[in-house]
Amino acid sequence: MKRIAVLTSGGDSPGMNAAIRAVVRKASYHGVEVMGIFHGYEGFIEGRMELLDLGSVGGIIQRGGTKLFSSRCPQFKEDRYQYQGIEKMREANVEGLVVIGGDGSYRGAHALSQKGFPCVGVPGTIDNDIPGTEYTIGFDTALNTVIESIDKIRDTATSHENSFVVEVMGRDAGDIALWAGLAAGAESILIPEESYNIDDIVNRIKRGEARGKKHSIIIVAEGVMSGSELAKILKEKANIITRVSVLGHIQRGGSPSARDRVLAGRLGAKAVEVLLEGRSGRAIGINNHQIIDYDIEEVFINKHKADVTLYTLSKELSI
Amino acid sequence: MKRIAVLTSGGDSPGMNAAIRAVVRKASYHGVEVMGIFHGYEGFIEGRMELLDLGSVGGIIQRGGTKLFSSRCPQFKEDRYQYQGIEKMREANVEGLVVIGGDGSYRGAHALSQKGFPCVGVPGTIDNDIPGTEYTIGFDTALNTVIESIDKIRDTATSHENSFVVEVMGRDAGDIALWAGLAAGAESILIPEESYNIDDIVNRIKRGEARGKKHSIIIVAEGVMSGSELAKILKEKANIITRVSVLGHIQRGGSPSARDRVLAGRLGAKAVEVLLEGRSGRAIGINNHQIIDYDIEEVFINKHKADVTLYTLSKELSI
Amino acid sequence: MKRIAVLTSGGDSPGMNAAIRAVVRKASYHGVEVMGIFHGYEGFIEGRMELLDLGSVGGIIQRGGTKLFSSRCPQFKEDRYQYQGIEKMREANVEGLVVIGGDGSYRGAHALSQKGFPCVGVPGTIDNDIPGTEYTIGFDTALNTVIESIDKIRDTATSHENSFVVEVMGRDAGDIALWAGLAAGAESILIPEESYNIDDIVNRIKRGEARGKKHSIIIVAEGVMSGSELAKILKEKANIITRVSVLGHIQRGGSPSARDRVLAGRLGAKAVEVLLEGRSGRAIGINNHQIIDYDIEEVFINKHKADVTLYTLSKELSI
Amino acid sequence: MKRIAVLTSGGDSPGMNAAIRAVVRKASYHGVEVMGIFHGYEGFIEGRMELLDLGSVGGIIQRGGTKLFSSRCPQFKEDRYQYQGIEKMREANVEGLVVIGGDGSYRGAHALSQKGFPCVGVPGTIDNDIPGTEYTIGFDTALNTVIESIDKIRDTATSHENSFVVEVMGRDAGDIALWAGLAAGAESILIPEESYNIDDIVNRIKRGEARGKKHSIIIVAEGVMSGSELAKILKEKANIITRVSVLGHIQRGGSPSARDRVLAGRLGAKAVEVLLEGRSGRAIGINNHQIIDYDIEEVFINKHKADVTLYTLSKELSI
- pLDDT computed for residue A214 by the predictor: 81
- pLDDT computed for residue A204 by the predictor: 87
Which class is C3-138+256-301 in CATH? alpha beta
Q: D66 CB near a chain C CB, below 8 Å?
A: yes
Q: A161 CB near a chain D CB, below 8 Å?
A: no
Partner-chain contact D269 A317, CB within 8 Å: yes
Per-chain mean pLDDT for chain A: 96
Mutate to test the interface with C, among D48, D69, D146, D155 (most CBs of C within 10 A): D155
DSSP-derived letter for residue B5 is E
The per-residue b/e assignment along D289-314, b for 16 or more CB within 10 angstroms, e otherwise, is: eebbbbebeebeeeebebbeebbebb
Catalytic residue among A12, A53, A79, A127, which? A127
Q: B255 CB near a chain C CB, below 8 Å?
A: yes
> Which C positions 172-231 lie with beta carbon below 8 A of chain D?
none
- pLDDT computed for residue C208 by the predictor: 84
Candidates B151, B184, B317; nearest CB to C269 = B317
Contact call for residues D71 and D94 (beta carbons, < 8 A): no
How far does CA A216 lie from the centroid of its chain?
Answer: 28
Partner-chain contact B64 A152, CB within 8 Å: yes
Q: Nearest CA to CA, how far is A288 from chain B (Å)? A: 30
Band the pLDDT of B213: cuts 50, 70, 90.
confident
Which residue in chain A has the smallest CA separation from D56?
A: A213
Candidates D16, D145, D244; nearest CB to C152 = D145
Amino acid letter for position C54: L
pLDDT > 90? residue C207 = no
Candidates C183, C212, C289; nearest CB to B258 = C183
* Nearest one of B94, B101, B147, B139 to B120, comparing CA atoms: B101
Integer CA distances (angstroms), B103 to A161, B18, B84, B137, C226, in order: 21, 19, 22, 13, 46
Per-residue pLDDT tens over the stretch D126-169: 999 999 999 999 999 999 999 999 999 999 999 988 999 999 99
Partner-chain contact A184 D255, CB within 8 Å: no
Partner-chain contact B248 A246, CB within 8 Å: yes
How far does CA C277 lie from the centroid of its chain?
Answer: 27
Q: Judge whether D105 is annotated as a binding position.
A: yes
Catalytic residue among C12, C127, C140, C293, which? C127
Contact call for residues D22 and D268 (beta carbons, < 8 A): yes
Per-residue pLDDT tens over the stretch C43-100: 999 999 999 999 999 999 999 999 999 988 999 999 999 999 999 999 999 999 999 9
- pLDDT computed for residue D207 by the predictor: 86
Contact call for residues D52 and D21 (beta carbons, < 8 A): no
- pLDDT computed for residue A211 by the predictor: 83
Spatial CB neighbours of C304, under 8 Å, sequence gap ≥ 6: C128, C129, C130, C131, C173
Per-residue pLDDT tens over the stretch B149-167: 999 999 999 998 899 999 9
The residues of D annotated as belonging to the active site are 127
* Nearest one of B120, B122, B97, B140 to B285, comparing CA atoms: B122
Helices D308-317 and A16-29: crossing angle in degrees, nearest 10, is 80
Q: D282 CB near a chain C CB, below 8 Å?
A: no
- pLDDT computed for residue C72 by the predictor: 86
Contact call for residues C164 and D74 (beta carbons, < 8 A): no
Integer CA distances (angstroms), D112 to A121, A240, B194, C200, D11, in order: 52, 49, 71, 45, 20
In whole angstroms, give the CA distance from residue D124 to residue D16.
6
Q: What percent of chain D has pLDDT over 90?
A: 93
Q: Judge whether D59 is annotated as a binding position.
A: no
Q: Judge whether B80 is annotated as a binding position.
A: no
Which residue in chain B has the smallest CA separation from C307?
A: B289
Set of chain A residues whose Cβ sits within 8 Å of the Cβ of D143: 258-259
Spatial CB neighbours of B53, under 8 Å, sequence gap ≥ 6: B24, B28
Spatial CB neighbours of C300, under 8 Å, sequence gap ≥ 6: C103, C106, C107, C110
Contact call for residues B122 and B137 (beta carbons, < 8 A): yes
User: Which chains contact D through at least 3 pairs of Cβ atoms less than 8 Å apart?
Assistant: A, C
Give, for A35, the enclosing helix (H) or strand (E). strand A33-37
Q: Which of these ranges, A191-200, B200-209, C144-153, C309-318, has the smallest mean pLDDT?
A: B200-209
Partner-chain contact A71 B161, CB within 8 Å: yes
Candidates C66, C149, C158; nearest CB to D250 = C149
Set of chain B residues whose Cβ sits within 8 Å of the Cβ of C262: 179, 182-183, 310
What is the rounded radius of gyration, in angstroms, for the C-alpha atoms of chain D? 22
CB-based burial label for C202 (10 Å; 0-12, 13-18, 19+): middle
Partner-chain contact A69 B153, CB within 8 Å: no
Catalytic residue among B12, B127, B129, B260, which? B127
Band the pLDDT of A30: cuts 50, 70, 90.
very high
- pLDDT computed for residue C210 by the predictor: 87
ipTM: 0.97
Mutate to test the interface with C, among B316, B318, B319 (most CBs of C within 10 A): B316
Q: How many CB atoms lie within 10 A of CB A237?
A: 12
* Nearest one of C13, C20, C27, C229 to C124, comparing CA atoms: C13
- pLDDT computed for residue A207 by the predictor: 86
Sheet holding D97-101, edge to edge: D49-52, D33-37, D3-8, D97-101, D119-123, D282-287, D290-295
Mutate to test the interface with C, among B313, B318, B319 (most CBs of C within 10 A): B313
Strands (E), chain B: 3-8, 33-37, 49-52, 97-101, 119-123, 163-168, 188-190, 217-221, 242-246, 282-287, 290-295
Q: Which of these ranges, A175-179, B72-76, C136-140, C309-313, has the smallest mean pLDDT?
A: B72-76
Set of chain C residues whose Cβ sits within 8 Å of the Cβ of B288: 288-289
In whole angstroms, give the CA distance from residue D131 to residue D301.
9
DSSP string, A94-144: ---EEEEE-HHHHHHHHHHHHTT--EEEEEB-TT---TT-S--BTHHHHHH
Q: Give the architecture (CATH level 2) of C140-252.
A: 3-Layer(aba) Sandwich (3.40)
User: Which chains contact A through at least 3 pairs of Cβ atoms less than 8 Å apart?
Assistant: B, D
* Nearest one of A118, A219, A115 to A166, comparing CA atoms: A219
- pLDDT computed for residue D178 by the predictor: 98
pTM above 0.95, yes or no: yes
Partner-chain contact B140 C262, CB within 8 Å: no
Set of chain B residues whose Cβ sits within 8 Å of the Cβ of A12: 155-156, 159-160
pLDDT > 90? residue D249 = yes
Band the pLDDT of A252: cuts 50, 70, 90.
very high
Partner-chain contact C182 B317, CB within 8 Å: no
Q: D251 CB near a chain A CB, below 8 Å?
A: no
Location of each CATH 3.40.50.450 domain in chain A = 3-138+256-301
Amino acid letter for position D287: N
* Nearest one of D242, D130, D212 to D175, comparing CA atoms: D130
Q: B276 CB near a chain C CB, below 8 Å?
A: no
* Nearest one of C264, C248, C212, C210 to C14, comparing CA atoms: C264
Location of each CATH 3.40.50.460 domain in chain C = 140-252
Partner-chain contact B154 C269, CB within 8 Å: no
Q: Judge whether C293 is annotated as a binding position.
A: no
Q: Which residues pair with D33 in a beta bridge?
A: D3
Q: Which residues pair with A97 in a beta bridge?
A: A5, A119
Band the pLDDT of C195: cuts 50, 70, 90.
very high
Partner-chain contact C66 D250, CB within 8 Å: no
Q: Which residues pair with D284 in a beta bridge?
A: D293
- pLDDT computed for residue C113 by the predictor: 98
How far does CA C74 lie from the centroid of its chain?
Answer: 20
Contact call for residues C238 and C125 (beta carbons, < 8 A): no
Per-residue pLDDT tens over the stretch D267-276: 999 999 999 9
Integer CA distances (angstroms), C294 to C115, C121, C281, in order: 19, 10, 8
Set of chain D residues whose Cβ sits within 8 Å of the Cβ of A26: 316-317
Q: C158 CB near a chain B CB, below 8 Å?
A: yes
Mutate to test the interface with C, among B141, B147, B156, B247 (most CBs of C within 10 A): B147
Set of chain C residues whose Cβ sits within 8 Å of the Cβ of B261: 147, 182-184
Q: Judge whether B154 is annotated as a binding position.
A: yes
Q: C307 CB near a chain B CB, below 8 Å?
A: yes
Which residue in chain C has the smallest CA separation from B264?
A: C183
Largest CA distance in chain B: 72
